Amino acid sequence: MTFSQEFNIIFDKSVNDYHITDSVDAPENNPYPKNTLQGHLYSKNWIDAVQWHLEDIIREPGIDPVKALEIKRRIDSSNQDRTDLVELIDSYFMDKYSEVKVAADATINTETPAWAIDRLSILALKIYHMRAQTERAEATPEHRESCSKKLAVLLTQREDLTGAIETLLKDIEEGRKYMKFYKQMKMYNDPSLNPVLYAGKNS
Into how many domains does the chain fold? Answer: 1
Collapse the DSSP code of 174 into the 3-class scheme (helix H, G, I; strand E, B; otherwise coil) and give the result. coil
| pLDDT tens string 156-196 | 999 999 999 999 999 999 999 999 877 666 666 677 767 76
- Taking the C-alpha atoms of residue 81 and residue 58, their distance in angstroms, rounded to an integer, is 19
| pLDDT tens string 31-90 | 999 999 999 999 999 999 999 999 999 999 999 999 999 999 999 999 999 999 999 999
pLDDT at residue 201 is higher than 90 = no
Domain extent, residue 104, equals 3-202
| pLDDT tens string 100-158 | 999 999 999 999 999 999 999 999 999 999 999 999 999 999 999 999 999 999 999 99
- Taking the C-alpha atoms of residue 76 and residue 58, their distance in angstroms, rounded to an integer, is 13
Question: So what's the pLDDT on residue 200?
Answer: 64
